[in-house]
Amino acid sequence: MKIEKQQIGDLNKKSIIAHKAQFNFLAGQLTHLGIKSQQLIERLKAFQVAIPSWALGAGGTRFGRFSYGGEPSTLEQKIDDIGVLHALTQSAGAVSLHIPWDTPEDYEAIKQKAALHNIGFDAVNSNTFQDQPDARQSYRFGSLSNVDQHVREQAIHHNIEVIRIGKKLGSKSLTVWLADGSNFPGQHNFQTALQYTQTSLKIIYDSLPKDWKLYIEYKPYEPNFYSTVIQDWGTSFMLAKECGDRAYTLVDLGHHLPNTNIEQIVATLLHKGMLGGFHFNDSKYGDDDLTVGSIKPYTLFLIFNELVYGMAKNPQNPEIAWMIDASHNIKDPLEDLIQSLEAILIAYAQALLIDQQKLRAAQEAQDVALCQEILPTAYRTDVRPLVKESRLQLHGALDPLSVYRSLGIRQALINERGKDARASGL
């Protein structure tokens, strides 16, 4: 499965006249405000989001899973699916692999396949939240924090193995998310669990190649419901600091308690040069892993405001590794990812429109009403023509979802792989 530029170009012709009219209108408005559209478009064109290898099949809950048909059952097929996304959107230029679900068998074949689609290898993800069939130790009571030294050693060794695999593919970072925690009061000695986690992470960190980074993800609850060892950004920050200067915090939008001010967390981490990775999704209640921007688009915009500010003002922060970490229980996974990518670029474009100088002046003047007015002015601008134009300039689809449907991609995948093909993953 590979979409040719010609196919996309032919379908773009249908809507190019309408697009050009809308784009010229917006560009005219922006010129009036002293904003150069092409500069914004260049920023949008450069924005690439990694797709996790576990998000290409139908997601599920603990109650069940409804297969979508034509799911990728091998790593090659997963990379083909990301190739479809990238051809259409021109913004999904990387894959983030989960080990062991997606351990390559033939590294050269996988690298060739990725190169064919112009896809790079982003962070590799370890898994110490499940027992593998051949494992000697169980993670039932945790991994890096386990009171049993043998379990900790197995978990450390697994992470080192993930680094080895990532090196062979050209990855430059390792993401660690731990399910470790406790379900009932008294189950954990909090201090011991934290210390074991620190010591284990340090051994993993010391095994990283010198040009690699470690991203430490946090989450307040689930699958453990009383406590989680790395519960919040502060704990992640502290653990990263104690590992060394190539360890960073990773923010997953779904990993916060309701109403947490995530944009403030983002600002704090950027200020301290500690925001390494970023996982996009949306939620209504908890770690719902819904399509990006589907529930709280204004919050996403406010977060992007801080990201845009930090990317411009915080050279102490490394380039951020962007990834979509969403699930999709009832939608076609590829359609869902197309929607997420669109929402990300829209929020980014809106945030780029914020008049930072005017905002700063209003803040200095302590003009609260004006401060509050400046943000929605950007947010309520329909930036979709900018996003479309950025894709058009890269030979992507003006309207990726409609092109995906017009080309009958899902049916082609079902024909090729079968109705019952199942992807590994969540």
Binding span for Mn ion by CB under 5 A among 184-192, 325-333, 351-359, 387-395? 325-333
325 near Mn ion, judged by CB under 5 A? yes
Q: How far apart are CA 248 and CA 370, in angstroms?
A: 35
Residue placing its CB nearer to Mn ion in the complex, 122 or 252 = 252
**x/- track of binding to Mn ion for residues 205-244 (CB under 5 A):** ----------------------------------------
Please select the residue that binds Mn ion; options are 80, 81, 232, 252, rule is CB under 5 A. Answer: 252
Question: Residue 303 and residue 215: Cα distance in Å, rounded?
Answer: 19
Residue 325 CB, shortest distance to Mn ion, in Å, is: 4
Segment interacting with Mn ion (CB under 5 A) among 16-24, 240-248, 278-286, 326-334: 278-286
Instruction: Say whether residue 282 binds Mn ion (CB under 5 A).
Output: no
CB of 423 to Mn ion, least distance (A): 18
Q: Is 263 in the site for Mn ion (CB under 5 A)?
A: no
Q: Using the rule CB under 5 A, give the single segment among 14-22, 56-64, 275-283, 366-374 that binds Mn ion.
A: 275-283
- Dihedral, CA atoms, 304, 309, 313, 314, nearest 10 degrees? -30
Based on the shown chain and the rule CB under 5 A, indicate whether residue 287 belongs to the binding site for Mn ion. no
User: Interface with Mn ion by CB under 5 A: which range of 203-211, 238-246, 251-259, 290-298?
Assistant: 251-259
CB of residue 323 vs Mn ion: minimum separation in angstroms?
Answer: 7
CB of 146 to Mn ion, least distance (A): 22
188 Cβ contact list (under 8 Å, min separation 6)? 145, 181, 182, 227, 229
User: Which span (29-37, 64-72, 273-281, 349-357) binds Mn ion, by CB under 5 A?
Assistant: 273-281
Write out the two tokens for 175.
């993401």
229 in helix, strand or coil? Answer: coil
> What is the gyration radius of the CA atoms in the chain, in angstroms?
22
**Distance of closest approach, residue 136 Cβ to Mn ion, in angstroms:** 28
CB of 236 to Mn ion, least distance (A): 12
Place of tokens 């008294």: 186
Q: Binder to Mn ion among 19, 98, 279, 391 (CB under 5 A)?
A: 279
98 part of the interface to Mn ion, by CB under 5 A: no
Interface segment toward Mn ion; rule CB under 5 A; list 46-54, 106-114, 229-237, 318-326 = 318-326
Please name every residue paired with 249 in a beta bridge, in sequence order, or none if there are none: 216, 275
Shortest reach from residue 178's CB to Mn ion, in Å: 12
Q: What is the DSSP letter of 68?
A: -
Size of the site for Mn ion (CB under 5 A): 3
Q: Are 67 and 420 in contact (CB under 8 A)?
A: yes
- Inter-helix orientation angle 107-116/149-169, to 10°: 50
- Cα(45)–Cα(389) distance, integer angstroms: 9
Shortest Å, Cβ 339 to Mn ion: 18
Q: How many CB atoms lie within 10 A of CB 329?
A: 17
**3-state secondary structure labels for all residues of 279-348:** EECECCCCCCCECCCCCCHHHHHHHHHHHHHHHHHCCCCCCCEEEECCCCCCCCHHHHHHHHHHHHHHHH
Footprint on this chain of Mn ion (rule: CB under 5 A) = 252, 279, 325
